[in-house]
Structure 1
Amino acid sequence: MATTRIVSVFGATSSSVVQALLKDGTFTPRAITRDPASDPAQKLKAQGVEVVKGDSLDKPSLLNALHGSEAVFVVTAPIFPIKAEGGGPNELVMGKNIVDAAKEVGVKFFVFSSLPSISKISGGKYTVLHYDQKAVVEEYLKASGLPNASVHLGVFLDNYWKFGLLRKTDTGFDMSVPSYKADDLEAFTWVERDLPAVVLTLLKNYADPSKNISGKTYPIVNATISYSELAERTGKALGTKVTFTPGPPTGMTTLDDMYAAQAEYSGLFTATPVSNPDLVALGVQLGTIEEFLETAVKPRFG
């Protein structure tokens, strides 16, 4: 009798990773959520996904939720207002609790959606706690002894429709981003398409020592280009005028530091070529901007 290979997913109620696991069939997804009665959790249940209550701020609940899991995929979200270490509940507490619980119940592989430390990249010029806290948890995971891999995402291309990046105007469309000049570079990630593909590949190959996966960080970047170039390409795809307008600061220090740092340091991932050779070596072919515009943007905005 085949053993069920359970992958517990944190952030599952909004995760395309669960859908990829369901479609592929190699693993059985288990959604970990604080509220199994929520509408998104109920929709997962209707698809046959096991939904288990677990609170990342409550380690005992995680021990029960993760029992029997072969692997985990973890996305943590910042708690606003974001608090520094020792100041109250934050992503450091959540991430470390999940790592500790996973190790205690015998999880064999841990995939963490992390981010680079902006404080380190900028030499302290900028402080963006939700980046820095994820980076600390990533190092904690690497030191835990658990086989692991981390993924880093750029700005979501999916924000075209999820957060209104592409907005209708009288003449076509406009993009507006705080603190960015027209020629500032940004790293973009097509999350719905490529995050699930990468995570599934890592899960399928982590036990193969020849793949040398454990302990690595995998930036998933489809393109590093300026917003003005992205607007121009979008306009060509849609056959209409698409402009980029630099926006004013938000007035929220954390967000303004995030935008300023990403603009100054070209999206934070310039050390990784596009396409990432570590992902290419695993057989992952990321989508192009042209594919994104043709298959995801034109049906929505065309």
Structure 2
Amino acid sequence: MPTPGRKTVLVTGATGNQGGSVAKLLLQYPDEYVVRALTRNPDSVPARKLSALGAHVVQGDLTDPSTLDGAFQDCWGAFVVTNFYDAKIQNDPSSEEQQGRNAALAAQRAGVSCFIWSTLPSSVAISGGQVKCEIYEGKYRVDAFIRDELQLESAVFVYTGNFYENMVLRGHVVRTEDGKGIEFRQPVIQETTKLHMVWVEKDLAGVAKAVFDNWEERKEELRWRHLYAMDAVHTPREICEVVHRVTGLPTKYVVLPTTGNAERDIMFNLYNKTGTYPGVVLPDKHVLDLGVKLHSLEEFVKERLVPHLGLD
């Protein structure tokens, strides 16, 4: 049953970067929100940590609709993200699209009041037909399903960018063997490629909470809107310059030949051709208008990267 005076929000991907960040931020406001964290494995270490923080961890699987009605029941809100990097689906991009559809249908059946869908635009559209990346197209088709087929009036779309956290979580930034320099290593992406960047932990989570906070008063304005949950556009070369300036260590960018996955290589080549969101200027005024304080690359480097590199 819903908790009186507080809004219950279901968070999918709650043991991952996006969902976990949203869940942890909402958990800091226990007088306002109850967090229901969806996971396939409630006994995992990340799930147990969320439970210790106060989340109600429930077992469910976006690939199995029969597990979702109970998870969404009595929820006022939901933050839904699918993960192409999930070992269960990464070799079948169409599965990710079906997960998004399953979640939207379950939310509609449950009468969820505010449904945030983490998504991407059409790669075909932004590249002028040069690139088709199923990681993008699957999420984009879910947008149309939510808006045009379901006409789910509780839905808001949040665009994500290239994650600052990848420097740490995916080990993209490392000290050189002699300890006197730093290398920023990424597959495929060229040093002049324009990347719309987001500190997921701070800013994607902040945008999601701002939508939930403002929904009742501003739902007509927010319904079906795409919000760019990113703070700025940076090239890898510019990132290296900031890392160098903050750490004092010379920083070199290294392009690795492949991600090891064909669809991810296509996605990164899309970035090289068009940038992540061609023509989109940041920050998004609609995000700022929600009262979100965005965080910069320099702040991320100082707060997260410097300690990770053992330089604090």
TM over 0.5: yes
Of 116, 122, 141, the residue aligned with 1:111 is 116
Q: 1:28 to 1:186 in 2, by over 3 A?
A: same
Q: Quick one: which amino acid aligns to residue 11 of structure 1?
A: G
- What are the Cα deviations for residues 254-301 of structure 1, in whole angstroms up to 9, with x where unaligned? 12211110111122x243322111111111121112222222222322
- Is 197-206 or 17-26 further displaced after alignment? 17-26
Q: Quick one: which amino acid aligns to residue 76 of structure 1?
A: T
Q: 1:294 to 1:136 in 2, by over 3 A?
A: same
CA distance in 2, matches of 1:109, 1:46: 26
Alignment of 1:249-260 (within 5 A): 249-250=258-259, 252-260=261-269
Of 223, 243, 251, the residue aligned with 1:242 is 251
Aligned to 2:90: 80
Q: Give the length in aligned residue pairs.
A: 296
Q: 1:211 to 1:297 in 2, by over 3 A?
A: farther
Runs of 4+ in 1 over 6 A off after TM superposition: none
SS across alignment from 2:15:
helix
CA distance in 2, matches of 1:181, 1:81: 25
Aligned to 1:4: 6
CA distance in 1, matches of 2:219, 2:208: 18
Of 132, 144, 153, the residue aligned with 2:160 is 153
2:27, 2:33 within 8 Å by CA — same for their partners in 1?
Answer: yes
Q: 1:295 to 1:126 in 2, by over 3 A?
A: same
- Is 127-136 or 155-164 further displaced after alignment? 127-136
**Matching of residue 49 in structure 1 with residue 58 in structure 2:** no
Q: 1:293 to 1:83 in 2, by over 3 A?
A: closer
Deviation of 1:245 after TM superposition, in Å, equals: 1.9
5+ long unaligned stretches in structure 1:
85-89
Deviation of 1:80 after TM superposition, in Å, equals: 2.2
Deviation of 1:251 after TM superposition, in Å, equals: 5.4
Aligned to 1:264: 273
CA distance in 1, matches of 2:260, 2:61: 31
SS across alignment from 1:13:
coil
Q: Quick one: which amino acid aligns to residue 120 of structure 1?
A: A
SS across alignment from 2:272:
helix
Of 286, 291, 306, the residue aligned with 1:298 is 306
Deviation of 1:61 after TM superposition, in Å, equals: 1.5
1:151, 1:220 within 8 Å by CA — same for their partners in 2?
Answer: yes
CA distance in 2, matches of 1:290, 1:11: 27
SS across alignment from 2:71:
helix
**Matching of residue 71 in structure 1 with residue 105 in structure 2:** no
Structural RMSD (CA): 1.8
Of 124, 129, 135, the residue aligned with 2:129 is 124
CA distance in 2, matches of 1:103, 1:237: 47
Alignment of 1:159-238 (within 5 A): 159-169=166-176, 170=178, 171-209=180-218, 212-238=221-247
2:203, 2:294 within 8 Å by CA — same for their partners in 1?
Answer: yes
Aligned to 2:44: 38
Q: Quick one: which amino acid aligns to residue 102 of structure 2?
A: N
Aligned to 1:289: 297
CA distance in 1, matches of 2:296, 2:283: 9
CA distance in 2, matches of 1:293, 1:168: 14
CA distance in 2, matches of 1:210, 1:258: 33
- Is 97-106 or 245-254 further displaced after alignment? 245-254
Deviation of 1:247 after TM superposition, in Å, equals: 2.5
TM-score scaled by length of structure 1: 0.92
